[in-house]
Amino acid sequence: MRFFIFLLFSTLSSSLFAATALPLSDAEITSLAAQKEWRDLLHYHRVGAIKGTGSQIDDPKFFLATNGNKDPSAELKATLVGFLQGPSLTDANQAAQCRFPARFFWLKKQRPDLPLQEIKCPDFDPWFAQIDGESVYLIFPAAYLNSPSSMYGHTLFRVKKKGNNAPLLDYAVNYAANADPDDNQLVFSYKGLTGGYPGVVSVMPYYQKVKEYNFLESRDIWEYKLDLTPFEVNQFIRHVWEMQNTYMSYYFFSENCSYQLLTLLDASSPRLDLADDFTVWAIPADTIRVLKKAKMIDDASYRPSLLNRMSNMLNQIGDEQVNVAKDLVDNETLNLTKLETYSPQDQAQILEVAYEYSRYLVARKKVTSSYLNGRSIKLLSLRSKRQSGEVFTPVKPPELRDDQGHKTQRLALSVGSRESSAYSTLEYRPSYHGLLDPQGGYLKGAELSMFSGSLRWDEAKSVEVDNFSFINIRSLSPKNALVTPKSWQINASLLRDYTIDDELVFRLKGGAGVTQQFGQSMFAVLLNGSASAEENYQDGYRLEVGPELRWLWYGERNNFQLDFEYLADINLHNAERRTVNAVWAHQLAPDWQVRLSTSHSWYEAKSWNDTSVQLLHYF
């Protein structure tokens, strides 16, 4: 039935189009259609390794002209016809003014002489009044390595309601891939890289997104107020309405959440040209830098994650109080005997810790114990009856925000020696962060890079590929007295194996374990498994398994890493690989770092040393 209604509407529109006399000449329409703001309203942008032409919007319902996705003049002519017709249909919501209010107000502003009539829109008008936008904030939840779509972080908007001082009651504007929940992580990653999912714009209460990112996924959130005029705020909201009912192909590295949100801002004002700063890929932290460069950011505020709040509380109380808090949550029967032996302030602290811990168990770990939901409410009630006001020192915001950390691309030149043979390498990493990179603005113990590689040349050989990493992820999340997050890593690479005469092999390696933090140090224990493929291996492959110990120390300008790995060959029971590696990294300037590294490796009866110095530049 919907198809026949759409067909009837299209037929009527075509007939009326032919009968409508336009108040603008073809030359005037062509001139208007060439304006940047009109093309932005149609999302005529280009980004990615393979750049398309025309609009990035793939939904034909977004266009009134059959070739509107390729011809902005044709789409403007069809839009003008629709505006002149007014509410000619039974359903006023289908009128062009109601479907495309941002286009309507843009055209009125460009040509106030045109006989364009505003009409009442049964759906849009109350929606616009409910949003009642006063200002717009860019929201940046930090990186979340356990989700492929959020490994680099995420961005969305919060629209502040006029007169509202409770941000959680504002509305969020989000752009994300509409993924199939039945797809596994491998399928999800493949479709995300190739545009296999539709990207959709959605509007929802802001508290829902805070709950998702800040609470369920335990991610810090930065909020940046944007410098927009009242008209630009309203035009932004109107364009969001236009985009809610359409879709675009979603690409993780180019046409993603951060990039498409910038295109929404571009459509709200002719002075903004944010999306064109990206040519190949767009990373959330880089979009903030683009806004900062355009002087669009007024101020920033910080909302710590649930785990950070819990860790901050645990640092301010003793082990005995922590154990009491655990008992208040873990025991099915609530017993307040131990709690009542403490002072009112200590009781308030213990109850706050217990409350946060209970929420973590319910949401983050999805514990299904029936008593826990009621326990959280009971703990909150008990806390309200104790000492009023703050009983913990608030979480201190990081010294550097995400956009103030090192740039995401990295180029590195190194010289070294292995077994008295000198060599040099040139490495390029398109993004994002490594364990020893300058830590300001990034998660400690986190590493993420894709499609990075290096070239190598030495005295005996010409230039050759030294390695190529398809994906490299490491998440060393420290445990605390209440929770023990899983530490894990995975790497898929082509690399040189010195045990078989430096042949290039494919290796898939992963591991899991636990991490403990001691002041500025982190100590991780992992169990790794490695699978390598090359014809010179026995049976054409090598399977290895064994432990890894890694110690990291982070200073203000210096980082240090010491690790030991033992891998036993499953097929050759007398073959084992052992490696000791030490690296010192010193930050020379905001975008420059130097590293000294040395390692010693053993495999069967063979052993070798490798020492190098490396200069790194971030850009």
Q: Percent of the chain, pLDDT > 70?
A: 92
pLDDT bucket at 2, cuts 50 / 70 / 90:
very low
Note whether 286 and 428 are same-domain residues: no
- What pLDDT sits at residue 282? 80
Mean of the per-residue pLDDT values for the chain?
89
Residue type (1 letter), 234: N
Look at residue 334 and tell me if it is in a domain.
yes
pLDDT digits (tens, 9 = 90+) for 571-595: 887 789 999 999 999 999 989 999 9
Look at residue 311 and tell me if it is in a domain.
no
pLDDT digits (tens, 9 = 90+) for 223-273: 999 999 999 999 999 999 999 979 998 887 778 888 898 999 999 999 999
- What pLDDT sits at residue 20? 56
Note whether 258 and 152 are same-domain residues: yes
User: Any long-range contacts for 439-443 (C-beta under 8 Å, 24+ apart)?
Assistant: 439/405, 439/554, 439/559, 440/398, 440/399, 440/400, 440/404, 440/405, 440/406, 441/285, 441/398, 441/400, 441/401, 441/402, 441/403, 441/404, 441/405, 441/406, 442/143, 442/402, 442/405, 442/406, 443/142, 443/143
CATH number assigned to the domain comprising residue 595: 2.40.160.40
Residue 3 scores a pLDDT above 50: no
User: Any long-range contacts for 346-349 (C-beta under 8 Å, 24+ apart)?
Assistant: 346/317, 346/321, 347/386, 347/387, 348/383, 348/386, 348/387, 348/391, 349/313, 349/316, 349/317, 349/321, 349/391, 349/392
Torsion of CA 282, 288, 289, 290, to 10 degrees: 70
Note whether 295 and 230 are same-domain residues: yes
Single residue among 303, 329, 345 that ends a domain in this structure: 303
Note whether 104 and 46 are same-domain residues: yes
Look at residue 97 and tell me if it is in a domain.
yes
Q: Select from 562, 588, 289, 565 the least CA-distant residue to 437.
A: 588
Note whether 90 and 168 are same-domain residues: no
Look at residue 396 and tell me if it is in a domain.
no
Residue 4 scores a pLDDT above 50: no
Task: Report the domain count for the chain.
Answer: 4
- Two structure tokens written together for 434: 């490594």
Q: Using DSSP, how many helices (H) and how many strands (E) does the chain show?
A: 16, 20
- What pLDDT sits at residue 49? 52
Note whether 90 and 175 are same-domain residues: no
Note whether 469 and 561 are same-domain residues: yes
- Two structure tokens written together for 294: 């355009």
Note whether 214 and 250 are same-domain residues: yes
* Per-residue buried b or exposed e for 388-415, using 16+ beta carbons within 10 Å of the residue's own CB: eeebeeebeebeebbbbbbebbbebebe
Look at residue 355 and tell me if it is in a domain.
yes
Range of the domain at 251: 128-303
Note whether 374 and 247 are same-domain residues: no
Note whether 331 and 370 are same-domain residues: yes
Query: Which phi and psi angles does 124 have, rounded to 5°?
Result: -70, -45
Tell me if 183 sits within 8 A of 191, measured CB to CB: yes
3-state secondary structure of 237: helix
More confident residue, 209 or 585: 585
Average pLDDT over every residue of 88-105: 89
Look at residue 279 and tell me if it is in a domain.
yes
Note whether 159 and 271 are same-domain residues: yes
- What pLDDT sits at residue 581? 98
Look at residue 399 and tell me if it is in a domain.
no
Residue 259 burial class via C-beta count within 10 angstroms: exposed 0-12, middle 13-18, buried 19 and up: buried
pLDDT digits (tens, 9 = 90+) for 267-284: 999 999 998 888 777 888
Single residue among 69, 96, 117 that ends a domain in this structure: 117
More confident residue, 300 or 190: 300
Region of poorest pLDDT, from 1-10, 31-40, 123-132: 1-10
Residue 463 scores a pLDDT above 70: yes
Q: What is the DSSP letter of 478?
A: B
Look at residue 500 and tell me if it is in a domain.
yes
Note whether 96 and 175 are same-domain residues: no
Q: What is the DSSP letter of 190?
A: H
- Two structure tokens written together for 375: 């326990």
- What pLDDT sits at residue 367? 59
Single residue among 303, 334, 354 that ends a domain in this structure: 303
Q: Percent of the chain, pLDDT > 90?
A: 66
